Amino acid sequence: MDYYELNANKFCFATFDLDLTSIVKEFLKYIPAGGRVLDAGCGSGRDACTFKKLGYNVAAFDSSPAMVEIASRNLGQKVQCMSFYDIDYDCFFDGIWACASLLHVKRDDLASVLSKLKKSVILNGCIYVSFKLGDAERVDKHGRYFNDLNEEGLNIILKKTDGLISKEMWITQDARPDRNDEFWLNAILIAK
């Protein structure tokens, strides 16, 4: 979290205008019009702003106080400062958007965090997740922990959750122009 506290403005500036339209559309196929969406690990609030503009009832959180301040300003509403470990909702959201955020959750903790997310959505609710494509846990040059996953790795973790199944998985190229050699695993998960 130190990296995001120290670099919040720089990070938000570099990522706020990324075009994730195709991924957003894929996620929203599973959410009723005007439904309740949680942006989990919202960063700048970029995607929460998109959902709000499209008429969805949006809540958001991030674990970085600096990011929460920026996201609250961008979204025009209070964003909660909490981590994935603090989630305590019960069948409330139609969908959860966890774009490039769960990749900072340690692999040993990921099944329990996904189970918390599953408990937070309604029956047959949708959870979108994305991870840098790979199969290793690593720390980058800035000291950030990453849990890179491929389809096989995510499926192994999903088997440890209580009733969270994969509806679809696909790979995309990084949306940042200077990182077009990096790829992402995207998945739509359904709570059963």
Percent of the chain whose predicted confidence (pLDDT) is above 90: 83
pTM, two decimal places: 0.92
Kindly indicate the confidence band of residue 17, based on its pLDDT and cuts at 50, 70 and 90: confident
pLDDT at position 178, please?
Answer: 76
pLDDT for 3 beyond 90: no
pLDDT digits (tens, 9 = 90+) for 47-59: 999 999 999 999 9
Give the chain's largest Cα–Cα span.
42
CB 154 within 8 A of CB 185: yes
Domain ranges of the chain: 2-9+19-191
- Cα 158 to Cα 49, 107, 152: the distances in Å are 29, 12, 10
Q: Kindly report the CA angle at 190 between 33 and 144, in degrees rounded to 5?
A: 100
Long-range pairs, 137-145, Cβ under 8 A, ≥24: 137/106, 137/107, 142/3, 142/7, 143/2, 143/3, 144/3, 144/104, 145/104, 145/106
Supply the mean pLDDT for the chain: 93
pLDDT for 170 beyond 70: yes
Class of domain 2-9+19-191: alpha beta
CB 189 within 8 A of CB 114: yes
HSE, CB side, 13 Å, CA atoms: give it for residue 35: 21
Q: For the beta carbon of residue 69, count every other beta carbon within 10 angstroms.
A: 14
pLDDT digits (tens, 9 = 90+) for 18-68: 788 999 999 999 999 999 999 999 999 999 999 999 999 999 999 999 999
pLDDT digits (tens, 9 = 90+) for 95-139: 999 999 999 999 999 999 999 999 999 999 999 999 999 999 999
CB 79 within 8 A of CB 60: yes
pLDDT at position 14, please?
Answer: 65
